[in-house]
Structure 1
Amino acid sequence: MADDSAAKKTGTATGASARPWHRATLAARNGWQAWRTRQPYGERPSRSTASDGESCSQDATALWRVRTTVREEPGSLARVCSALAAGRVDILTLQTHPLGDRTVDEFLLRTPAALEPHELARLLSEAGGSETWTERADTHDLVDTPTRVLGLATRAALDTAELPLALRTLLGRCTIRSVPGDTPAEGTLEGTLLRLPDPAGGEIVVERHHVPFTPTEFARAQALVELDARLGRRTPREQQALTLPEGRDVTIRRADEGDLEAALAMHARCSKETLGRRYHGPVKDADRYLRHLLSPRFGRTLAVESPAGELVALGHLLWDGDETEAALLVEDAWQRRGIGSALLRRLVAMASEARCESVYAVTHSSNTGMVAAMRGLGLPLDYQVEEGTLVVTAALTPAAMAPR
């Protein structure tokens, strides 16, 4: 769930990149991240631009999320709305965040496709707006705020692993970390930084560098965390059957810390080569990292059980800032039967449902099985290789593959 820079600052294992042996992969992965960070934030091209083979007509529109700060005085909002109307901009939703002598107005806007973000900011500036921020929106943002918040609360109530995702969806693009700490029960708000007590222990740190948090957003985040604390740990227990080529059925289900003993037993049955391909470092460190992997605070885990009830495979989806890692471990005796591919498809579907932009896998360049599984997703892939470590990143599309 943490980004690399945050993990280094805290010295705490909060995501896949925090484990000591994973640092060798950063050089390869940074090539992909460097390209992403060069894209101006809030000015990324729409998924339906002319590059997709479609010409922009005069009737083409774009969706934008916009914030601007105005003085708290009669007529300030009217001037902003009039300026937007003059620019042929349609206001779809509006929220106001009072800050004493100022107010942050948050809009969901439909604009002419040709209207550039700097032109939109100029319209608002001329109407008295300041500290304007823009970001591309999509159809998910068309849901009104009360409905969206209730939906997030429902998902969080059903699954402990949903809290980080619910907070990120609620607060927009931000980095969320679970770290050791002793935050007051009411939490703290410090500009672009929120600290909230983590019901699982420690604290949840939320950072959003592009725009400060408002008291209203802080109160909403507090409410979600309080809901999580009151409900306690919970993991969906749905099970799915997977029929292997030889005709036997295995079971795929969600896993959590309660599966630690069974996961350790699976480790003991795996060869050093299999564990080395999965954990990219000393095998002795793998057992110590399992509890972290199984924690719903850092992602979601799928387990595969044999007909005898033994755990024979694990698939992890780990939150890592704006990106998400998928990792697989299949016991030697159960490899090359389609289990890894089935797990990966389900993990990618879960990432797509969580509105993640991409999923990456870190492996050895010689691990042809993992590479084949990533290719089998049918998604655009990016490859980065550094000193034998391969990072394969799949860009998620709106129709990311569903389980088969």
Structure 2
Amino acid sequence: MLWKIRTELADRPGALAELAARCGADDINILSLEVFTAESGAIDELVISTGVGWTAEDLTALVAEAGCSNTTVRPCQADVLSDAPTRYLRAVLRLIDDPVSVDEELETLQGFEEYTPAEWARADVLVEIAGRLAERYQGSVTEGPRPGSGVPELRRATVEDASAVVDMHERCSYESRTRRYHVPMPKLTARTARHLSAPAGGVSIVATVGDAVIGMATAAPWEELSGTAMEVAVLVEDGWQRQGLGSQLLRRVIQESRYLGADRVVCMVQPENDGMLRTVEGLRMRTRVVQDSGHLMVTVALSDQSLSHAVDRPSVPYRQTRAIPALRSQSARSTGQPSREHTFAGDGAVPALSDRAGAADPDGAHRGGRP
């Protein structure tokens, strides 16, 4: 059976030879080896062949005996034995025919949730190639409804909204997409749109005019932080921004998150995204802002105790979309930089909302972080 192992070798001469000897003692054949450089040191990725009966837990214990740490093991197929340049070139060939499949290509190529700087650079180039191809092949974009053509209605999204979500994404500007996903995200695949419309364990709210989706807010569990935190993000079509729709969507998705048992919601926001920061401030709820590398981690309390979970722990890397790997340096929070806490007026309750967007809100900016 073939396995791919990613591990950090002990920082001493002969560490790789020790790992090879340990594998050889158990009749494990090392078929390929790739070395990455990361902030923590060298990271080795091996493809090995084992006999029947080996498990991921067994292999993790084996490499630990050789002095390795931070090990991830997963089964793999024979195609991983091709050298990295060949695999990436084949991915480019497939993108020429289907540029919107970039997220699936990256998932296949990378394989691990944690990305090294080299993998981040490769993924960044692939996303740029896909974006340029998509722009070249892009046909006419269906024109959406304009402000004044109808009153937006807010409701929970379902997978049936995926096609309309893709259409809205096509109508959004480069700036809006970048602030929503933290990267340009040139195309949204139907698969990703279905995931965003009905996130596992979370909820999405769409704003619609007729059959068209013009805005969307998504909340998904942030398992790395805790089981009671939801990560939220908002995107509103450019023509409908500054109409109060972003505020309506954010309030509604926070309300739904509370119904699902969340005690706080978290937004990852670019520091220059004043619109989203004003929208969060307009909630008039107790909020904590922590500098997290190049982003702001904004935590909104849904209970009296919820901010205490975030105060005494370092900020954590946030999960980006599958199409975009996360490369985060050590955060300012983890190095001791104090957070900025804002306590707004009001009791922190999320008021009941109607299903119609209603009057314009001067704080109604649009764009947020991610899931």
The alignment's TM-score, normalised by the length of structure 1, stands at 0.37
Larger RCO: 1 or 2 (CA < 8 Å, sep 6+): 2
Structure showing the higher strand proportion among its residues: 1
The alignment's TM-score, normalised by the length of structure 2, stands at 0.40
